[in-house]
Amino acid sequence: MMKDIFPMSKFRLAHLGLVMAAIGFTAAVPVVGLSSIAYAADTVRAEVGKPLQEAQKLASAGKNKEALAKLKEADAIGGKSPNETYLIERVRASAAAAAGDNDAAAKAFEYLINSGKLSGAEAPKFTEALAGIYYRAKDYPKAITWIERSLKDNPNNAQMHDLLTQTYYISGKYAEAAKDINASKNPNEGQLQMLANIQLKQNDKAGYVQTLEKLAGSYPKSSYWADLLNRVSGKPGFSSALSLDVLRLRMANGLLTKPGEYMEMSQLSLQAGNPAEAVKIVDQGYKKSILGVGADAARQQRLKDLAAKTLADGEKSEPTQEAELIKNRDADGLGDLGFGLVTAGKADKGLDLMNQAVKMDTAKRPDALKLHLGIAQMQAGKKAAALATFKTVKGTDGAADLARYWTLQINHPM
């Protein structure tokens, strides 16, 4: 079984807060009127009322263990009426919950719920609190029973739904927890993290990546993007020719942090016929003081000079190169040339060449060509066109995955 990559503490506290809030309300529910009760039929006798009042005062002062001890005096009195027992258990429920005596609190709450004396407004709160008590006591089967009872009365109680999912998860009922999360229309970040952990435990790699995509899309963070891009590169059938495109996404999400990453990306850009991109990558590395420092500064400077020279030489030969590519119907080469022009700031010309390349239908890797067209459209500020293009990218070599990730990047940038 794999270790949770998202520690439970990240999404567990909110649910525990719900539990404590539910339990906490009992402390604010006093046994009303004991000091002025007329000791008549179906009220409270003095011998019961006195220790009961004292227990309530102790509980109000935060002395809950002392309050529980005082209640034993009331328990010892024989012949108690149902009303007297109800009032005793009401004080006991509050004091025991606050004292952390889960066993006593659970028994008191169950008595009160089954007494029929709770008002319509109180009953669901007590049911929720009892579910929380069993959760706190780690009696998860009973917690699930009472959560489900609460949801039967109020199916739209989002807090109880969250607590049910949490209880399923922590008690090892992963299938039930996953089913609950998947049934949610808008699962929150904590629920998605939980689902991701479940999928890892069940070795559901495809499901895990899908959940990771939802996390990166709805809650964009560098950790989600880093894991997502590492996994797409490791998928069976992933084309190494798309390595530069993975680095492009890494750069877009601020994940390039090492000199070697900048060097590799700039070299791949040169090999792909995009010296303008290589220049920008190297310049960014220098600007961030990642390149141009340390023992490899001279080698990095040589790469910088090479990128600048290649760009200048390419600008001179551009017309001849374009004509030759069109004549030979070399869609891949024409697409690379167009991509380079867009990166160099010649968006209209570059996009025109890339669109021509797509229409040629001679590309050896047509999905990669469409992927690059979408990236170029995005760079040119044509987001709607980019999103439309990304939808057309198919295949199983990783291009479709990367097109989907660029869509996430456009719609939910970090």
Tell me the C-alpha distance between 94 and 112, whole Å. 11
H or E segment and range at residue 262: helix 259-271
- Number of structural domains, the chain? 1
Kindly state whether residue 271 falls inside one of the protein's structural domains.
Answer: yes
Average pLDDT, 10 consecutive residues per value, the chain (414 residues): 53 42 39 37 82 94 95 94 93 94 95 93 93 95 96 91 94 95 90 95 93 94 95 92 96 95 97 96 96 95 96 92 95 96 97 97 95 98 98 95 96 88
Backbone angles phi, psi at 238, to 5 degrees: -65, 130
Degrees, nearest 5: CA angle 332-242-344:
60
Tokens standing for 340? 């380079």
374 lies in a domain?
yes
**Which tokens sit at 303?**
């790469």
Is position 154 within any domain?
no
Q: Considering the domain boundaries, does residue 251 fall inside one?
A: yes
pLDDT of the residue at 414: 79
Please tell me the predicted confidence (pLDDT) of residue 4: 67
CATH of the domain at 386: 1.25.40
| Nearest partner of 47 among 11, 17, 3, 78, judged by Cα | 78
Question: Is residue 338 included in any domain, yes or no?
Answer: yes
Q: Is residue 136 part of a domain?
A: no
220 SS3 class: coil
pLDDT at 184: 87
DSSP 6-66: S-THHHHHHHHHHHHHHHHGGGG---TTGGG----TTS--HHHHHHHHHHHHHHHTT-HHH
The pair phi, psi for residue 153, each rounded to 5°, is -80, -30
Q: Do residues 344 and 311 lie in contact, with contact meaning Cβ atoms separated by under 8 Å?
A: yes
- From residue 74, alpha-carbon distances to 34, 40, 47, 89, 317 in Å are 14, 18, 8, 10, 100
CA 238/CA 172 separation, integer angstroms? 34
**What is the CA angle 81-84-89, rounded to 5?**
125
Distance CA 236, CA 127 (A): 50
Q: Is 198 left (phi over 0), alpha (psi -120 to 50) or beta?
A: alpha
The range of the structural domain enclosing residue 375 comes to 239-411
The reply to whether the predicted model has a pTM over 0.85 is no
pLDDT value, residue 302: 96
pLDDT for 7 equals 59
Q: Tokens standing for 101?
A: 């005596």
Residue 185 lies in a domain: no
Phi, psi of 213 (to 5 degrees): -65, -40
In a domain, 373, yes or no: yes
Biggest CA pair distance of the chain: 109
Q: State how far the alpha carbon of 82 is from the alpha carbons of 42, 53, 236, in Å.
A: 8, 17, 70
